[in-house]
Amino acid sequence: MKKLKNEKELVKKAIALGVAYGEKRGAVEFEPTDSAHEKLEYIYRLLVHDKLIQPLPEEQVSQVTIRHRLAIWASKQKG
C-alpha cells in the first residue's frame, strides 16, 4: 500500500464528506465527542454497505487501511 502524497488532508476531507453523507442519508448522527477513529470506521462500513467503495478483506481491516481507503475515496469526490 503506497501512501498518498496528501493523505492527511484527504482523510480530513473524507471525514467531512462521510459525516455529511451519513447524516443526510439519516443513517447516523455524530456527536462532538465521537473520535476520528470511530467516525472513520463508521463511514467506511456505511460506504461499503451502500456499495460506494470496495470492502477490504476482514482480516486486513485496520485503522491504517481504513484511512487509506477513505483517502482514496475522498480524492475522487468533487468539492
Task: Note whether residue 75 is domain-resident.
Answer: yes
**pLDDT tens digits for range 2-36:** 777 899 999 999 999 999 999 999 988 999 899 99
Instruction: Give the Cβ contact number of residue 41 at 10 Å.
Output: 16
Quick check: is 45 in a domain? yes
Q: What is the DSSP letter of 26?
A: T
On whether the CB atoms of residues 47 and 76 are closer than 8 A, the answer is no
Q: Considering its fold, how many domains does the chain have in total?
A: 1
Which of 72, 79, 76 is CA-nearest to residue 16? 79
73 inside domain? yes
How many angstroms separate the CA atoms of 27 and 1, rounded?
30
In a domain, 41, yes or no: yes
pLDDT digits (tens, 9 = 90+) for 41-60: 999 999 999 999 999 999 99
Q: What is the pLDDT of residue 79?
A: 60
Q: Is there a domain that residue 52 lies in? A: yes
Which range marks the domain in which residue 69 is found?
35-79
Report the C-alpha gap between 17 and 19 in whole angstroms: 6
